[in-house]
Amino acid sequence: MSLIISIDAMGGDFGIAVTVPASLECLKSNPELKLILVGDSALLKQQLGESIPVYGERLTIHHASQCVEMHESPSKALKNKKDSSMRVAINLVHEGLADACVSAGNTGALMATARFVLKMIPGIGRPGIISTLPSIYGHTHVLDLGANVDCTAEHLFEFAVMGNELVKAVENIENPRIGLLNIGEEDVKGNEQVKKAAKLLENSTLNYIGFVEGNSLNAGNIKVDLIVCDGFVGNVALKSIEGAAKMIGTLLKESFSKNIFTKLAGFVAYPVLKLFKDRIDPRLYNGASFLGLKGLVIKSHGGADALAFKTAIQLAELEVKHNVIKKISEQVEISLAQRKSA
Amino acid sequence: MSLIISIDAMGGDFGIAVTVPASLECLKSNPELKLILVGDSALLKQQLGESIPVYGERLTIHHASQCVEMHESPSKALKNKKDSSMRVAINLVHEGLADACVSAGNTGALMATARFVLKMIPGIGRPGIISTLPSIYGHTHVLDLGANVDCTAEHLFEFAVMGNELVKAVENIENPRIGLLNIGEEDVKGNEQVKKAAKLLENSTLNYIGFVEGNSLNAGNIKVDLIVCDGFVGNVALKSIEGAAKMIGTLLKESFSKNIFTKLAGFVAYPVLKLFKDRIDPRLYNGASFLGLKGLVIKSHGGADALAFKTAIQLAELEVKHNVIKKISEQVEISLAQRKSA
């Protein structure tokens, strides 16, 4: 089986300074992996240096003359940047020359380009963005995280069908426990879309466990494998959690910096605090998958460092290995047939 | 000026075991305060014991024969529990015998009853629930937190007008910085309601600073005094933050419990961790105000302990002292006149 991933080497806040070392780390840790680094070939050759002969045909440079800016409008990028590293990296997936693409570039442009080049899986109304969050049970998969602001019940149902296949594949579990994000667990709670989506999920073959509240993302009373929501709510929840973690980190640091005694206590506690911090290190959760497209695209955080970008590439490896796109396409077809006949 | 607060003494998960000690603490710390404890008079007399003569006319028992259950449907409570401690406590506000009411009871029933008894301020489409969250800048006020699942731009604008008055009064600041919760800071981001609400806010006299993201609730790049959102999003954000804090607390505890060395480190760090924990203790942020009604109702968390319930009563004291309802009513009238003439 092939495992070829195209990298938008120029994307993200730091471009090749991050994408190149992360790529080399991934090549080192997985001998089956082949990478195609897309971007300015002169710059890439310079940055790669002696690594080029080391990895031989496992490491290819593919020249692209343009670069999508981080705040460029998706429509402009689509129209004017036909030779951008982002666009070319996605083209490689479309042409079957790569099995997945990873980019830390502008989310809107990446989604618009991916949708334009790769096209949607028939039967899916909208693509969704799925990622994972740490939880007291390990971690939780969540979608949608920002692609769609006004979702219908059908969209939410499709997110559940697609997310279910992804979670089954990458977690190697039979029946992921799926929750629908709501403002209460009782049937009467929530808006119309959520209530209708609940009915669709109840009547499906999915392992739907009911409504869950925001706390279930990190620390609910029971383990949930996949939480489904619209992109507005998902994005706000994700960023709220980021803010809470940042506040707690800031205040914790302040508490240990107060005076000589607290600093001493901090010195003693440092190894433990370090271990704790590593457990919820957001870099180990970097990488969001676009679902609903006919090819695999992984979005890395724009501000990712090499460790974080490596995590995103490794997520792509995992999804390629488990044939996620093929499984989703097949399941979407089955689900649509079931719903039509119901 | 009078400062009389009616307490739904039977409400919440623990009833009088919590409401009575919290009430006594408040009477002790504010000599101007008068409390009317509403509930089963025999039980209350027994629980209050020797405190009754201590506080004289500052502490009154008002008998109510019924109690609204924590999971009772709001419509049933409204219809069948006309002599509930909750209903009677709100009646006292309506009759002018109390300046505010505090309850830890069922949120839905409390809102429905408050709306039925007190009526809405003319010009306000929907009541909102406002509360505060800790932040790296001190704290942030947020509304709506769960009363309304499908808000129009006008509802969001009204929330901003009402929240602005409350924040001005209780924080003693001239022009609170108001942000609108969205999935990005750029104008093009968000759903239609949020974009329209932004236009209304831009054209108002409010100190509107633009869109803010979820992380601004606890730790944005700039201080925001008031964040406005619909109740679905607000509730999910709030509970997501609760979950994140719970996860971090759990993992932190686990890290310090691993072995004898980490336990020793935990022992040394304990006083610092305790100080840190106190700073974000959710009990010190307990109490959400219902805005848009012709009387003041404060909702305490159902699972509040005496310290948390005391915080909710003290929030009521603060809002009565600053005449929040009168200020909101006046400002709503002015805002409506301005919008009509615009």
Distance in angstroms (rounded) separating the CA atoms of residues A275 and B266: 13
**B232 vs A217, A233, A240: nearest CB:** A233
E-assigned strand segments in A144-292: 178-181, 208-212, 226-228, 288-291
Q: Give the per-residue pLDDT at B315.
A: 96
Q: For residue B151, how many C-alpha atoms fall within 13 Å in the half-sphere facing its CB?
A: 34
Task: Pick the residue from chain B with its C-alpha nearest to A231.
Answer: B183
Q: For residue A170, how many C-alpha atoms fall within 13 Å in the half-sphere facing its CB?
A: 24
Question: Choosing among A70, A156, A232, A257, which should be mutated to test the B contact, i.e. which has the most B CBs within 10 A?
Answer: A232
- Confirm if A191 and B150 have CB atoms less than 8 A apart: yes
Cβ neighbours, 10 Å, residue B239:
24
- Which residues in chain B touch residue A269, judged by CB atoms under 8 angstroms apart? 256, 265-266, 268-269, 272
Q: What's the burial of A264, exposed, middle or buried (CB within 10 Å: 0-12/13-18/19+)?
A: middle
* Average pLDDT over every residue of B34-38: 97
- State the amino acid at position A26 in one-letter form: C
* Average pLDDT over every residue of A118-132: 92
Question: Choosing among A195, A223, A272, A276, which should be mutated to test the B contact, i.e. which has the most B CBs within 10 A?
Answer: A272
Distance in angstroms (rounded) separating the CA atoms of residues B48 and B64: 16
- Which residues in chain A touch residue B126, judged by CB atoms under 8 angstroms apart? none
In total, chain A counts a number of residues equal to: 342
**DSSP one-letter code for A229:** -
pLDDT one-digit tens code per residue, A47-61: 998 888 899 899 999
Rg value, chain B, Cα: 21
Q: Give the per-residue pLDDT at A188.
A: 74
* Average pLDDT over every residue of A290-308: 95
pLDDT one-digit tens code per residue, A93-107: 999 999 999 999 999
Peptide bond into A83 cis (omega under 30): no
What is the dihedral angle through the alpha carbons of A16, A21, A27, A33, rounded to the nearest 10 degrees?
A: -30
- Which residues in chain A touch residue B258, judged by CB atoms under 8 angstroms apart? 272
Identify the band that residue A292 occupies on the pLDDT scale cut at 50, 70 and 90: very high
- Which residues in chain B touch residue A191, judged by CB atoms under 8 angstroms apart? 149-150, 232
Put simply, the answer to whether A218 touches B265 (Cβ < 8 Å) is no
* Average pLDDT over every residue of B100-121: 95
First to last CA, chain A: 38
Cβ neighbours, 10 Å, residue A15:
20
Q: Give the per-residue pLDDT at A168.
A: 93
**A236 vs B183, B219, B268: nearest CB:** B183
pLDDT one-digit tens code per residue, B190-203: 888 999 999 999 99
Instruction: Concatenate the DSSP letters of all residues of A72-128 into one string.
Output: --HHHHHHH-TTBHHHHHHHHHHTTS-SEEEE-S-HHHHHHHHHHHH-BPTT-SS-E
Task: Pick the residue from chain B with its C-alpha nearest to A133.
Answer: B244
Q: What are phi and psi of B341, to 5 degrees?
A: -80, -10
* Average pLDDT over every residue of A225-238: 94
Q: Give the per-residue pLDDT at B209.
A: 96
Q: What are phi and psi of B38, to 5 degrees?
A: -105, 125
- Confirm if B11 and B43 have CB atoms less than 8 A apart: no
* Average pLDDT over every residue of B278-293: 91
CA distance A314 to chain B (A): 25
Average pLDDT, chain B: 92
Whether the per-residue pLDDT at B342 is higher than 70: the answer is no
Whether the per-residue pLDDT at B326 is higher than 70: the answer is yes
Identify the band that residue A1 occupies on the pLDDT scale cut at 50, 70 and 90: confident
Structural tokens at position B110: 């409390």
- State the amino acid at position B92 in one-letter form: L
Q: Give the per-residue pLDDT at B5.
A: 98
How far is C-alpha A93 from the geometric centre of its chain's CA atoms? 17
Distance in angstroms (rounded) separating the CA atoms of residues A222 and A162: 22
Put simply, the answer to whether A214 touches B191 (Cβ < 8 Å) is no
pTM as predicted: 0.91
CA distance B76 to chain A (A): 14
Structural tokens at position B337: 């006149």
Identify the band that residue A342 occupies on the pLDDT scale cut at 50, 70 and 90: low
Distance in angstroms (rounded) separating the CA atoms of residues A127 and A75: 17
Task: Pick the residue from chain B with its C-alpha nearest to A195.
Answer: B149
- Asked if ipTM goes beyond 0.95, one says no
Better pLDDT: A184 or A231: A231
Task: Give all domains of chain B, ordered by start, each with its CATH number.
Answer: 1-124+292-322 (3.40.718.10), 125-287 (3.40.718.10)
- Which residues in chain A touch residue B245, judged by CB atoms under 8 angstroms apart? 244, 248
- Which residues in chain B touch residue A239, judged by CB atoms under 8 angstroms apart? 183, 213-215
Task: Pick the residue from chain A with its C-alpha nearest to B256.
Answer: A272
Put simply, the answer to whether B136 touches A280 (Cβ < 8 Å) is no
Task: Pick the residue from chain A with its C-alpha nearest to B181.
Answer: A236
Put simply, the answer to whether A243 touches B272 (Cβ < 8 Å) is no
Q: Give the per-residue pLDDT at B198.
A: 95
* Weakest mean pLDDT among B15-19, B130-134, B184-188, B222-226: B184-188
- Confirm if B53 and B25 have CB atoms less than 8 A apart: no
- Which residues in chain A touch residue B275, judged by CB atoms under 8 angstroms apart? 255
How far is C-alpha B303 from the geometric centre of its chain's CA atoms? 14
CA distance A123 to chain B (A): 24
Task: Pick the residue from chain A with its C-alpha nearest to B274.
Answer: A255
**B246 vs A73, A218, A269: nearest CB:** A218
Put simply, the answer to whether B233 touches A235 (Cβ < 8 Å) is no
